[in-house]
Structure 1
Amino acid sequence: MDDLNRLEALSYFLKTKRAQLKPESVGLPSGSRRRTPGLRREEVAQLAGVSTTWYTWLEQGRDIKVSRSVLDCIAEALCLKRDEHEYLYDLALGTQIVSTKSQASPTTISPSLEKILSALTTCPTIITDRYCHIVGWNPAAAHVFVDFATIPESRRNLIRLLFSQKEFKVLAGNWEHFAKGFLSIFRAYYGQYSGDEWYTSFIQEMSNTYPEFKSLWMESQVSKAPEILIEFRHGKVGKMLFDLTSLQVQGEDDLRCSIYTPVEESGTEEKLKRLISAQ
């Protein structure tokens, strides 16, 4: 993301978060003359203790100098959560994680991570990199989702598959909630790697191809580890409930381990065992 795209992303993020806030939630009267939802710019500026002109420039994506302390005030005024707060830092300060590994370089799973995948016999588990490319999975994931080995490696991107594979939409009873969770993770990466043009190109491609992606992406949700209860409607065993635990794997590849744990007393683990034994 070059500086122009970064500042445009900052502008859109601030506008979206301002529009999502209800005046009464921050102690302001709702009034009856508001033409648009959310707070006005001057109200955010007042809550943050900055001038309306300065905040307007920030929200317009102008290339102005900002400090962490002032951004902290903006974050508090907009009631940003921790991951959203860090995302604001990334965009406003031009923070960038530098990686020596290119997007095209293949990612290999370490033997220890492979062993963890194998050990989680009744917990579908997927390993993704910072682009949300799927680089590893266990047999349980292949049984519940799809056999990722049948999908060309170049198309094996979790965000792309969520919108392009009908199996995911049919499988997930709460598909929109499911998709929002992974988009919020993807947006956190988008802010962290602000110098990588791949993200800008990918988001543009997805927005042009899938209207649902564009609509959900515009909500600007950010979370490095969202809490997601997944309801699957499997064609062979019926309803399955999983809690998603998302773990960051230390290392330069910036891998993420997404573990789907069967909800207790839902019968999901027994159904999964039947699926695996029938193979």
Structure 2
Amino acid sequence: MKMSDKERLRELAQFLKTRRARLSPEQAGLPAGGRRRTPGLRRGEVAQLAGVSVDWYTWMEQARDIGISAQVLDSLSRALRLDEPERRHLYLLALGQLPGRRETGIPGVDPALQRFLDLQGASPAYVTDQRLNVVAWNRAASLLYGPYEELSDRERNSLWRTFTSPAVKALLRGKWEAHARHRLAVFRAGYANYPGDPWWVALIEELTRISPEFAAWWPRHDVLAGPEGKKINHHAAAGRLAFVQISFLVSDAAHLTATVNLPDDEETADRMRGLLEADGEAR
């Protein structure tokens, strides 16, 4: 039987009280403040740590039906030193849903993953994170899609490049709109895990301001997951290139997606090998 809203709020109130009671001021980074009649933090201290009013936090512990945002729940999670299972439990009690995934910083990829990319040879391959930033690539990808090693962090975001780079439009020619809509739908699906996150909001606002297409398509809420399938690219030196695209999550790093563009015919494979050979001779 589904828990009623009143029961859920009572459970939330009790959960908050127990988490507050188990945490000492010293553990929370506060001065001890002398002897206390009851163990744990005071309501005012939790409110202070979470950046909310004492009245508002008190209402939560009184099981009142008040508006609660994901940002406030994350602040409470940090204030009460909740681990990940407790954080999920807090979200379920407060909002009736699980939280979005926490973002993971990526200083670099595992050497084995980079070796996998390099072994793809004439197949352009790259790895993207949950923001659609390209975080690793092989030489074929760099020669086809642009010199990733020379690009800024913003330019290595595939959504940003799709909507702002003339080179991407030239590479895709008449297929740019289909590609752009696909990239946007994948990005929109990912955004559901981080609603209101400042990084995502800033990128959305900037693209809305500078790209009429993005501004027109973003409100449509199209969502997709997975690769584009067959792709046709037009390289300035190599000419027409046909690929079949496959993507998969990295097994030991689920926040990363590896994408491999397999040549769809022998002519494309020969032209990609020619690009690699010419680049090797030029070095």
From the superposition, tell whether residues 180 and 154 of structure 1 become closer, same or farther in structure 2 (CA, over 3 Å). closer
Aligned 1:126-275 pairs, distance under 5 A: 126-173=126-173, 174-194=175-195, 196-251=197-252, 254-265=255-266, 267-275=267-275
8 Å CA contact retained: 1:262, 1:268: yes
Change (3 A) 1:110 1:179: same
Detail structure 1 runs of 4+ shifted over 3 Å in the superposition: 92-95, 250-253
Instruction: Name structure 2 gaps, 5 residues minimum.
Output: 1-65, 68-94
Q: Structure 1, residues 210-263: CA drift from partner, whole Å, max 9, x if none?
A: 112222323322112043321111111211111221211234560111211111
Q: CA deviation at 1:188?
A: 1.4
8 Å Cα contact 1:130-1:253 kept in structure 2: no
Give how far 1:192 is off.
Answer: 2.1
- Conserved? CA contact 2:127–2:135, under 8 Å: yes
Classify 1:230/1:197 alpha carbon distance in 2 versus 1 (closer, same or farther; 3 Å).
same
Change in CA separation of 1:141 and 1:93 when aligned onto 2, cut-off 3 Å: farther
Root mean square deviation, CA, Å: 2.3
Distance in 2, matches of 1:95 and 1:196, equals 16
Change (3 A) 1:228 1:179: farther
The amino acid that maps onto 2:99 is Q
Deviation at 1:111, TM superposition (A): 1.4
Written as runs of structure 1 = structure 2, the 5 A alignment for 1:84-163 is 95-99=98-102, 101=104, 105-163=105-163
Post-superposition offset of 1:193: 2.5
Deviation at residue 117 of structure 1 after TM alignment: 0.7
Q: Which digits, 9 at most, give the CA deviation of each residue in 1:131-159, with x for residues without a partner?
A: 11111110000111111111123432111
CA radius of gyration, larger in: 2
Overall identity of the aligned pairs, in %? 26
C-alpha separation between the residues in 2 aligned to 1:220 and 1:194?
A: 13
Unaligned runs of at least 5 residues, structure 1: 1-62, 65-91
Deviation at 1:107, TM superposition (A): 3.1
Distance 1:144 1:93, change over 3 A: farther
Evaluate the alpha carbon distance shift between residue 237 and residue 245 of structure 1 in structure 2; reply closer, same or farther with a 3 A threshold: same
Contact 1:185–1:226 (CA under 8 A) maintained in structure 2: no
Mapped to 2, the partners of 1:144 and 1:197 lie a distance apart of 32
